[in-house]
Every structure is written in C-alpha cells, then in structure tokens.
Structure 1
Amino acid sequence: MSPSKVSTIKFDEFYNIIDGEQRSSKNQHHGIDPTTGEESWGVPIGNQQDVDDAVVSAQKAFEKYRYTTLEKRKELLQRYVDAFNSHSEEMVELLCKETGKPKQFAQMEVGGVAAFIGHHLSLDIPEDKLEDDEKVITTRYFPLGVVGAICPWNFPLILSLGKMAPALLTGNTIIIKPSPFTPYTTLKAIEIAQEIYEPGVVQVIGGDDKLGPLLTAHPGIAKISFTGSIATGKKIMAACANTLKRVTLELGGNDASIILPDVDVKKIAPEVVMGAFQNSGQVCVATKRIYIHKDIYDEFLQEMVNFTKTIKTGDSNSGSLLGPVQNKMQYERVKGFFEDTKAKGYKIAVGADTVPSGNGFFITPTIIDNPPNDSRIIQEEPFGPIVPTQPWDDEEEVIRRANNTNTGLGACVWGKDEKHAEAIAKRLEAGSVFVNSFEKPTPQAVFGGHKESGIGGEWGKDGLKAYCNAHVIHLYKQK
C-alpha cells in the first residue's frame, strides 16, 4: 500500500512510521488480547524495503539533527511529552488491551513516560577536561548515528521510550521495533512523535521475528539497543559483530532476595511478595528466589501466604492487582514450572499445582516452599507468578547461593541494620541491588546486568555514553 501522511491520531488504525509517513503492508499481524485470547487489530509486518527506507531517512535526518544544540533537543523532548500526555487516556486503554495490565498499573506506565523523559531533560552530556603545563585534553561525547531499538512486551512504552529519550538527547536518530506481542502503544507513541520531529528522526517498524535480524544486519545502523531474553541477546551480539555495531543488551535475570532475621516481618513480607508478583512476575528484575533466615522462616512465609491470598487476579477493569501472562508462548513456559513442581512433589505454600485452562492467560500466584537447589524453579527464570522460598542460617553460604547463577541483573537485601544489609548488598553480583525495597529501576541510575544479564547499561548520566562515541582532543600549548 502507498504511504500516507500522518494526520489525526486514530487509536484503532495502526501503521509503521517511515520518513514521517504512515506505511501499511499487505502482510498483517494481529496481537492477542491476553485476557480473552482473541485477536486484536491488524498491524503491518515490516520488510527489507521498509528497513532500507527507514535507514536512509534516519541517516539523512541525522546529518542535521546531530548538530542541534542540547537545549533544542531538550525542547523537542518536552514538546513530545506534552503531545504524548494529551493522549494519555487513549494510551492507558490501549496498554490495557495489549498487555492485560490492571488499569492502575497501565496508568502508572503511561504516567511514567513523562518521568523517564523528564529526568533525561535534567541531564547534560558529559565532558571531561584535563590540563597540565604542556597540553589540554578534552573528552566529549558525540552521537553514534542511527540507533536500532528492539523492545520487549512486558513494559512496551517505558522500555521503548526509555531508549528513545537518551538516543535523541545525545543527538542520534532512532528506529524502534516493538514486540509483535505488544505493537500498539509503541506504534502510536511514535506516530505522535511525528507532530514534533522532522521526518526520519524517530521511526517505528513493527513486524515478526524476521524483522530484528534485518536491523542487526543493516550496515547503516550504528547501534542496537535490545531488551529481552538471554538467548536472543546472544544472537543479536553475534549478528552485530559482522559490522562492529555498538550493542547494549539488557537481558534476563534470576534475582535473589535475602531476608535478614531482624526485619519487621508483617511489614516486609507483603513487599517481598509484590517484588515477586508485580506485573504477574513479568519483570526482568522481579524477585525470582527468596532466601529467608531460618529463625523467621515459618513466620515470614506465613505472612507471605496471607498476603498472596488477598491478591486478586483478573482483567484490566476488574480492580485486580494482577493481570494475565501477556502471551501464549510465555504462558506455556510458565505452565512448565507448575508441571515440574507437581511432578517432583515440591511443597506449595500457597497457590495451585496446576494452571487451569480457560479464556485468557491467567495464572494463580504461587509460592513453592523450600524446593532443592537444583530444582528448575531455583535454577531458571520463570517470568511469571511463581516463586520459590528457601531458609538459610549462614551468611557466607546464602551469599554464595544468591550468586550461584549465570545471571546478575538485580537483587535485594532486607534488614533493619542498614549498614549490615548494605555490606551484603556490595557482595551480590548484580547490576542493581536494592536495600529494603523490591526491585524498582529508575531513570536516575544506570541500569544494566552482570554476567549473562547483559552488556552495557542505559539510563542515568552514565547511560548517555552508551549512545555516544568518545571524542578526545589533545591540544598542545604553543610556547
């Protein structure tokens, strides 16, 4: 189909945005409403021509946009926030439809866009200067060029616009690929951006599993920023090696939470539950393993059980705390953990040993009481509402247990003695460690993983450098 100019935003029609224009396709893909299992609207499937055209447009736009002042870039981002916020109600409804999130959490994600971009507006691009009698060395950071952002389905707005903000602030242009499971809000968010930015600065191409490799292979793309699974991250890194693209990979985790014996049990237990089950466990830094000191194990676990029993699961408008798992692929994976738990005879503290069939991808939040260290639920990341607990009595041993994983994205330590808790936190091999809070990534700090949880990081002042080349001028003084 022929491209048509972006005009009035319609929230029941969806297009890729290439060179400032709406572009459809003969080949369409349909997202699935996870609360019902029914198909949602059709969206175009991008192809090689779409990628080629988008890269040409982005490269052309970059030659002008790279020389805009930082103040101008901030002005444009603020104007974008204002335009986005004018559609916040429609965005909330759309986000509920594509993710199944309860409305209160969809509102938090939509509202979080302004906060994420707003913090970036407070940042300046780093510049370092060193001077001695002989010379002045100035290190500046210049944009890379065209960024390809490959985004996940669990927080489609925050994790796509959370790449857009630092990319544009540092003077890059960007092509965003939303997940085929949740394409709708991202397509609309970038359509809105056309009201602010010149063609080619911000583009979006939706598609299927063939689209990502087209972006990673394209020689005109200077960097790939990817959030998703470890397996896919490894493929992206290998593909980017052919053209020596810069890569930022934010991958999976198996976050440990260590509960010290001095905690306020009744206060902390519900928070630990929320850390495990927020967004139905579909958070890369959700708590995946809970280690509770043996002296309070039974009491703490009972309080977790009590709170979990109060959690309501349902559709977006039911007043529920948890929604469904977002897609059938992940639903089937999470079911595998329940099947393994039942087959091995592990003790269920609360929840179910079976995932019932029915409309939508709903799963009852479940806690597994003290499965063995080699169990699947301890060793792997479910990315769903099922979590194990284990007792501990030796601090050195529990730190080793927490670190005994190939991942290192996040971790938590809970204790009244803050210095003691922080001392443990320093020894946990993870990119973000939270003391007396469940995992809450923030744009104020760089976010990235250790080990196989990723390469590099984003957000915060240091995260800006991920979108830049260092450029050093050595000026020797004339005498």
Structure 2
Amino acid sequence: MKISWTSFHNVINGAIRGPEQIAYGLNPVTSEKLWPVPIASSKDLDRAVAAAKEAFPAWANTSLEERKDMIMTYEARVRAAQGELMDLLTLEGGKPRSVAAFEVDFVLRWFKYHLTLALDEEKVELQDRTLETRYTPLGVVAAICPWNFPLVLTIGKVLPALLTGCCVIVKPSPFTPYTTLKIVEMALDIFPPGVFQGLNGDDSLGPAMVTHPDIAKISFTGSVPTGMKIMEQSGSTLKRITLELGGNDAAIILPDVDISKVAKQIVSSALLNAGQMCVATKRVYIHTSIYERFVAAAVDAMQEVVAGHPDSREATIGPIQNKPQYDRVIALLEDCKTHGYTLRAGKQIAENLEGGLFVQPTLVDNPPDSSRVVVEEAFGPIFPTLKWTDTEELLARVNATETGLGASVWSCNVESASAIARRLEVGSVWINMIETPIPDAYFSGHKRSGIGGEWGRHGWRAYCNAQVIHTMKSKGSRL
C-alpha cells in the first residue's frame, strides 16, 4: 500500500474520504500551519457507525488467530514506517527526535504485548453445575485520543478493541490529528471495511460520539472536566466507558537515597515531553534532612535539560504542544512570581525561536501546599519541591487531592517504600523507577483520575461483556 505523508483523510467503511470542511494543525515550534485535515460531519459519523455496526457480527465471529494475523500485518507496516511517523510527531507535537523515537518504540511494544494475549474463558465446577464465564465483544467502540502521546495512546485503545472483536472508530485530538489519521489509514487494506475507522472533527464530534445510540463504548484519555461531561452524557444510552483522566502525581523521596542519582531521575520524570505526560512527576516531597542537597542536585540536573527545536542536537525537550495549554502553564508561573515563590530555572532555550510555545524548565522551591502550582496539574515543565518530616503527615498531604493517577516512592529500603506505596490513593505506584505505564500492567486512576482501566493481562475485558453459562450436571434422570 502506497502512503502519502502530506495528505490526510478520514477513513470510513474501508475508504478514504475527502473533506467538505477542513482545519489546520499548527507546528508548536514555529506556530505555522501544517497540512489541511478533514472535519467530519454528523453524516460522516452516522456513516462510520453504520459501517461498524454492519461489520461487527462477522468481525466478532472471526477467530482470535485470524484477528492476530491481521494485527501482525498491521504491525509490520507500522514498523516499516517508523521514520515517517517520527517526522510527523516532531512536526505536530514539537517533540525532539529522541522523544518521538521513544513514542514509536512504545507503539511497537504495545503490538508485541497484545499479540501474546489469550482471551481466556473461565470454568468452575460446582456440585450441581458447571459455570463457564466467557467474554463477548461490546460492539462499536469510539476511541477519543489525546494530544500529548497521540500514537501510543491511540494504539493502546485500538489493539485491545480489535483483539476482542470490537469495531473501533478513532477520533484524534484536533491539536494532533496527523499521526493518528495516518495510523488509521495505514490499516486500510488490512482489516475488513468498517472494522477500523478514523474521523477527525471539531468540538462537536466528541459529544456526538458520546450520545450516539449505536456506539457501545467510549474509551477516553484527557482532562478531568471533559471526562466528567462524557460520564454525564453517556448515561442517556448507558454506554460502557473507560476514562483515563488527569493526575497530580507525587514523588516521595526518603532520606536514604543516592541524592545525585535519584535527583536526575526525578528531573527526567518531571520534564519528559516537556512535562506533558499524564504520569509525569508533578509534586516532589523530599525529606527535610536531605532537602537542600536534593534540590541543589535537581537544579544541576536541570542544566542538562534544554528546550529547543526538534532537530537541535542540544534540545532534550520541545515546546508546549498547543496555545491553550501554554497559556495555562504561563499562568501558573506568573502566579508563582506574584506570590514571591523561589524559582530555580533550568538551562535557557537552545535557540531564539520566536513564535514557538517554549517554557523554560522551572523548579518551584517549597511553595505552600495551598499554592496553585501544588494543587493544580501543570502539564508542563514546571514542578514544586516540598519538605516533609513525619510519615503520617506526608501521607495526608500527598493524598489530599481530588485525583489519584500515579506516584513514585524512592528509598534504598524497599520495604519502607512499599509500606508507603500501599497507603497512597492512586492507581499505579512505581518504586525506585520513573513513572512509565507499560502494556503489561493494568492502568487505571483513583478518585477523579478515571473510571475503569485498560492494558495488562485483564485490560482487554474493558472491551467485553461477561457472559456466564450455568450447565446443570446430570443426576441420572430426565427433566
């Protein structure tokens, strides 16, 4: 299949569709327009849902082995296009090539893991009956995808949906439509028409998907306010929903750590992808006895983090991806300055890039717990460091949030770290490692960080209904 990397289309019922209306993404490095992309109409959505609904019965009854064979063909095509996908990620996301390569590598890891999964049924023998629990695909799934890691978080929804026998319609973020539309188009001649489709749209498309009567499930990654709207609106059709929402992840540093080594890892966790990561470290709680030394080591480590052009050899992080998010990060910085908090800056931007959405990496030194930079999720290259002494007080402070996505705990004593980890009100905890979701592990949020979860050995069940069959055991007589 010949692929153009400069034209972008919706995919409906096994064919690319030209737009009636168009929009443009922006390069966050230069703020210049990129290529035109289609805006799906309500009729486009109805056509896509109708095609998926028609394709679903046959796809659901396709064997798991056949579905995996198609996914393997798809993987090979994605693998062959790694360079082109990285180019798109750098253009629409502003990512340095090393970060774009990291994302593409993770996409391939998602393929590898899901191709090993067995969709197991369960059988239990009771005295009077046999219970068989089987899992049947939900039907038509809408995958509403974010802008920070558009490739890996799209594939993380698509693969379990296809594997279980669901048909999936992908909606990319309007800020990063290019890689997502292209990853759908690349599968055009691999899966049956209607099984895997993609629609780019404006602000009306997501709500239309959520309320569409023939869409059985919404899988959404994004902000808490949008997730709350999806939960409210999906109630009219009793849709299944999986929501992976925002977080305000804490890193807890115990006094026995190797300060220089751990400080570098914390800075990396806070600033990867310019802090635009759902499980980026966003609050750092450091034991008082090592606080000053740890902050000094972190500031030193920040001198190795340089915001700049994706093609710059010096740059390690890129710009904020879009103007609304840039404005939010700048507002947090201005609030810190207004209140007189101590700011420790990283290295200056590598080049003079006027028009780019760059923010200098910044550490906020021990602001109050009530400050905006502590309470709010920055989703940018700014993070606070905070002192702690008493473990009970620490846990109360860390857990005093409306969200609970992830956290990390750092100590030479794994038992001490584990004891703290088990009392954190979050979906995932990493001990002595940077927060990085992997396909092998179930990923979910507590509190306002989400509903349900995906990935891991059982994450595919989020795309299925459970059905239990009771079979009475013979007692030697007829009914």
> Smaller-chain TM-score range?
over 0.9
Unaligned runs of 5+ in 2: none
* Corresponding position of 2:339: 344
For the residues of structure 2 that align with 1:271 and 1:195, how far apart are their CA atoms?
43
- Quote the Cα distance in structure 1 between the aligned partners of 2:386 and 2:131: 54
Aligned partner of 1:109 among 103, 108, 117? 103
2:430: which partner in 1?
Answer: 434
> The residue matched to 2:285 in structure 1 has which SS?
strand
> Partners of 1:277 and 1:230 in 2: how far apart?
21
CA–CA distance in structure 1, aligned partners of residues 246 and 63 of structure 2: 36
Code of the aligned partner of 2:345: V
- Secondary structure in 2 matching 1:187: helix
Moved more, 83-92 or 365-374: 83-92
Structure 1 residue 434, shift from structure 2 partner? 0.4
Cα shift readout 1:348-401 (whole Å, capped 9, x = no counterpart): 1234999x9932100000000000010000100010000000111101111111
Aligned to 2:393: 397
| SS at structure 1 position matched to 2:457 | helix
The residue aligned with 1:326 is 321
1:467 is aligned to 2:463? yes
Q: Give the aligned partner of residue 169 of structure 1.
A: 163
Tell me if 1:203 matches 2:197.
Answer: yes
Amino acid at match of 2:390: D
**CA–CA distance in structure 2, aligned partners of residues 229 and 352 of structure 1:** 30
Distance 1:310 1:475 in 2: 65
Where 1:360 maps in the other structure, the secondary structure is coil
How far 1:126 moved relative to its partner?
Answer: 2.9
After the TM superposition, list the runs of 4 or more consecutive aligned residues in structure 1 that deviate by more than 6 angstroms. Answer: none
Separation in 2, partners of 1:364, 1:263: 28
- C-alpha separation between the residues in 2 aligned to 1:364 and 1:166? 38
The match for 1:286 is 280
CA drift of 1:253 comes to 0.1
**Equivalent position of 1:189 in the other structure:** 183
> What CA deviation, in whole Å up to 9, does each residue of 1:281-307 have, x standing for no partner?
000111110000001000000000001
Tell me: CA distance 1:459–1:287, structure 2 relative to 1, closer, same or farther (3 Å).
Answer: same
Query: Which amino acid in the other structure matches residue 281 of structure 2?
Result: T
AA paired with 1:233? G
- Closer, same or farther: CA 322–405 of 1 in aligned 2, 3 Å: same
Letter in 2 for 1:345: G
Q: 1:110-189 alignment to 2 at 5 Å?
A: 110-189=104-183
Distance change (3 Å), C-alpha of 1:310 and 1:321: same
Instruction: From the superposition, tell whether residues 220 and 33 of structure 1 become closer, same or farther in structure 2 (CA, over 3 Å).
Output: same
CA-to-partner distance for each residue in 1:14-60, whole Å, 9 max, x for gaps? 00000011112121110000000011000000110000000011011
Distance 1:184 1:57 in 2: 23
Q: Do the aligned residues in 2 keep the contact of 1:338 with 1:353 (CA within 8 Å)?
A: no
TM-superposed CA distance for 1:311, in Å, is 1.2
C-alpha distance 99-77 of structure 1, shift in aligned 2 (>3 A): same
Q: Give the CA RMSD over aligned residues.
A: 1.4
Q: Determine helix, strand or coil for the equivalent of 2:460.
A: helix
Identity of aligned residues (%): 51
Q: Distance in 1 between matches of 2:99 and 2:106?
A: 10
**How far apart, CA to CA, are the structure 1 residues paired with 2:348 and 2:100?**
29
Of 461, 470, 473, the match for 1:477: 473
Pick from 10, 13, 27 the counterpart of residue 7 of structure 2. 13
Contact conserved, 2:169 with 2:198, CA < 8 A, in 1? yes
8 Å Cα contact 2:96/2:316 also seen in 1 = yes
Is contact 1:342–1:353 with CA below 8 Å preserved after alignment? no
Structure 1 position 436, deviation (Å): 0.3
Tell me, which stretches of 5 or more residues in structure 1 are unaligned?
Answer: 1-6
Q: Is the 8 A contact 1:341 1:353 kept in 2?
A: no
Aligned partners of 1:269, 1:152: CA distance in 2, in Å? 29
Confirm or deny: 8 A CA contact 1:125 1:461 kept in the other structure.
Answer: no
Q: Distance in 2 between matches of 1:288 and 1:450?
A: 17
- d(CA) in 1 for partners of 2:375 and 2:177? 31
Per the alignment, in what secondary structure is the counterpart of residue 466 of structure 2? strand
Partner of 1:58: 52
In structure 2, what is the equivalent of residue 277 of structure 1? 271
Deviations 1:78-118, CA, capped at 9 Å, x for gaps: 11000111211111101110100000110121122111021
The 5 Å alignment of 1:377-456 reads 377-456=373-452
> How much does 1:241 deviate?
0.4
The amino acid across from 2:411 in the alignment is G
> Does structure 2 retain, via aligned residues, the 8 Å contact 1:126–1:461?
no
Equivalent of residue 358 in structure 2, options 355, 362, 383 = 362
Cα offset for 1:130? 1.1
